[in-house]
Amino acid sequence: MATPLAHTLAGYVVYRFAGSRDRTLLVAAVVLAVCPDFDFIPGLLIDQPVRFHHGISHSLGAGVAVATAVWLALPALRRVGARAWWVLFAAFATHLGIDFWGPDQRPPYGIPILWPMDDTYRMAPFPLILGVRHANEITADTMTWVGQILHPYNLAAVALELLWLSPFVWAAKRRTRGGTVGDSD
């Protein structure tokens, strides 16, 4: 998995490439780009944060469901139209793409990216990012998990992610300077 910073920037890039200035869409795109990792939350509730990580929340099927639910729930996004749905789905999909190209230290390796069509866990043949160092044992408790997240290794992971994503952020900001697609504010 990548850091939340990488996923946040990816959501922002999708939003900027869409050419919108709708603030609701910006916030929703960033949240959807990060939200597959909300699968830590049920694990945190039982003091085993990793237990449910990299499940079906990391799939295109979940992306369709979440993008549709958020689009239907927020009138501001419905006013933008179908384009907003695609921005939400694309933002979610960036999470899958980034995690797909990241390392994974515990089986089943990768993510079930094609669920529900296919349950197979898939990952790239080699990682392009360092990935976050965190406890991989499924029974690791929250303190162990947090302790490993605070490892200095993760600063290097953030630096490499910034290196990868900076050109995309720069290109997105240049491309949409003055863009107005779907604006509602």
- Judged by beta carbon, residue 1 or residue 33, the one nearer Zn ion is 1
CB of 89 to Zn ion, least distance (A): 16
* Interaction site with Zn ion (CB under 5 A): 1, 36-37, 99
- Judged by beta carbon, residue 22 or residue 37, the one nearer Zn ion is 37
Q: If 0-12 CB within 10 Å is exposed, 13-18 middle and 19+ buried, where does residue 61 land?
A: middle
The secondary structure of the chain as a DSSP string is ---HHHHHHHHHHHHHHHT---HHHHHHHHHHHHGGGGGHHHHHHTT-TTTTTTSGGGSHHHHHHHHHHHHHH-HHHHHH-HHHHHHHHHHHHHHHHHHHTS---SSSPSB-TTTTT----B--SS-SS-------STT--HHHHHHHHTSTHHHHHHHHHHHHHHHHHHHHHHHTTT--TT---
CB of 1 to Zn ion, least distance (A): 4
- Judged by beta carbon, residue 36 or residue 112, the one nearer Zn ion is 36
CB of 80 to Zn ion, least distance (A): 26
CB of 66 to Zn ion, least distance (A): 13
CB of 36 to Zn ion, least distance (A): 5
- Judged by beta carbon, residue 105 or residue 171, the one nearer Zn ion is 105
CB of 85 to Zn ion, least distance (A): 21
- Judged by beta carbon, residue 20 or residue 59, the one nearer Zn ion is 59
- Judged by beta carbon, residue 9 or residue 77, the one nearer Zn ion is 9
Q: Encoding tokens for residue 102? A: 């990241």
